[in-house]
Amino acid sequence: MRGAAPEREGTAPRAPYTPGRGSDSRRLTHRIAVSGVLVLGAVAACRRPPPPNAGDVVASVRVQGESRTYLLHVPATVPPAEPLPLMLAFHGTGENGRAMQGQAGLNPLADRRGFLVAYPDAAVGNWAEGCACSRADLEGVNDTGFVRAVVEDVARRYPVDRSRVYAAGFSQGGLFVQRLACEMADLVTAVASVAAPMSSRLAETCAPSAPVGVLVLQGTLDDAYPYEGRRQGGRSLLGAREAVDFWRVLDGCSGDARARELPDHAADGTRTQEERWPMCRGGVEVALYTVEGGRHAWELSADMRTEELLTAFFLRQTKPGTRAP
């Protein structure tokens, strides 16, 4: 039997084979590295890419031969192919869409919840609210046509969920969204008026083609549009509760209000009473938020974020029988 070969002088003895060393170890390391790349790739693939041009877009449309502008905020947290809800936010007299954007605080919510926000600019400093009393009304500005053009323009840029188009307005913009509810129920699912009720003149002719969700949020110390309403010819206004009762009838709401007082932690001299009627035709909801001690402002109470309240109200409601394009 042949003996083991002697070790050469000056060389170290061979180390015994140990699993996991040498080429096997390198292959294992390679497999781990490749697996890590695959896992990271899968995670990256699951992340939803931002839509093109996420952020703010200044856009324009033509209405009655005139160029009209609006500011569009595009959230960065949803894929381009997903139909998105669209919220229209209307400024008050003498302001513009960019001012409304800064005031309303809707963009961070849009980014978190995944909806588009358009901030239209009034042509002559105010909106044709349907009272035959504002400058826009008297000059025949086609603001309803402008709103429709804005929605269509946004839908050409991004997929819009037509069952979830909402309109919020502050002050005179809040009066204007009531007109949209009356005349454009085929387009808007729900509206919200902040520090504004409804024009009496508009209420006389209001005949929506479908149920529309309506929220009114107003302070009892509002010195621009009194909470109890105003009787002043063409500038007459329904009171906040009167406007909500008007919509309860039009929307065929049934049952008593679900009423509660919101928590009062800020000690800012305000208290907020919530009244909701969720059992209305078409699955819409009517709501009144009365802020005792609230004045003419977007943020009526330190205990409540107006933008969060409106967003929750809107996203609860979907127009039946509509589809995204």
The per-residue pLDDT for range 8-24, each reduced to its tens digit, is 333 333 343 333 334 44
List, for residues 52-102, the tens digit of each pLDDT value: 456 899 999 999 899 999 999 999 877 767 899 999 999 999 999 999 999
Residue 324 has pLDDT above 90, yes or no: no
Span 55-315: which CATH code?
A: 3.40.50.1820
Residue 45 has pLDDT above 70, yes or no: no
- Across 272-285, average pLDDT: 96
Nearest CA-CA partner of 189 in 51, 54, 324: 324
The helix (H) or strand (E) run that includes residue 204 is helix 200-205
Q: pTM (2 decimals)?
A: 0.82
Tokens 């800012």 locate to 268
Q: How far apart are CA 275 and CA 257, in angstroms?
A: 6
* pLDDT reported for residue 192: 98
* pLDDT reported for residue 151: 98
Residue 318 has pLDDT above 50, yes or no: yes
- Across 256-274, average pLDDT: 95
Tokens (6 digits) for 17? 């084979």
- Across 206-210, average pLDDT: 97
Q: Which has the higher per-residue pLDDT, 82 or 297?
A: 297
- Across 280-290, average pLDDT: 97
Residue 47 has pLDDT above 60, yes or no: no
- Note whether 315 and 212 are within 8 A (CB): no
Percentage of the chain surpassing pLDDT 70?
81
What mean pLDDT value characterizes the chain? 85
Q: At what angle do helices 106-113 and 306-315 cross, to 10 degrees?
A: 40
Q: How far apart are CA 157 and CA 225, in angstroms?
A: 37
- Across 286-314, average pLDDT: 97
- Across 237-259, average pLDDT: 97
* pLDDT reported for residue 219: 98
Tokens (6 digits) for 300? 């009526």
- Note whether 112 and 308 are within 8 A (CB): no
Q: Which has the higher per-residue pLDDT, 6 or 239?
A: 239
Residue 295 has pLDDT above 50, yes or no: yes
The residues with which 67 forms a beta bridge, in sequence order, are 62
Q: How far apart are CA 107 and CA 2, in angstroms?
A: 86
- Which residues neighbour 202 within 8 Å (Cβ) at sequence distance 6 or greater? 129, 130, 131, 175, 178, 179, 182
Phi, psi of 276 (to 5 degrees): -125, 140
Tokens 């008297």 locate to 138
Pairing mode of beta strands 190-194, 160-170 = parallel
* pLDDT reported for residue 320: 75
